Amino acid sequence: MVMAMVKRVRYSALDSHVLAVAKEGLVSDWTAYIGAVPGICHDIEYKMVLGNGSKLPYEIAKILFSDFDKDFEWRH
């Protein structure tokens, strides 16, 4: 039986309608995205940002998600 590893994902609400989302990659790397959301339920809406958001510049992402930056390599 093969068990799938759960990858780390975390979001930060910059506004009720703007989320930044960090996601662990497949090879100990990470990236982050930003996007607009309806602002109704961030626990669901962060997935919209992962699918359709714009990639954040590293200089901003490392400030918002310093834990990811400490644990993983930035995906270019």
Is the model's pLDDT at 3 over the cut of 80?
A: no
pLDDT for 40-65, tens place per residue? 999 999 999 999 999 999 999 999 99
Q: Mean pLDDT score of the chain, rounded to an integer? A: 94
CA–CA distance, 69 with 41 (Å, rounded to integer)? 26
Q: Look up the pTM and report it.
A: 0.90
Tokens of 66: 């310093």
Report the chain's terminal Cα–Cα distance, integer Å. 33
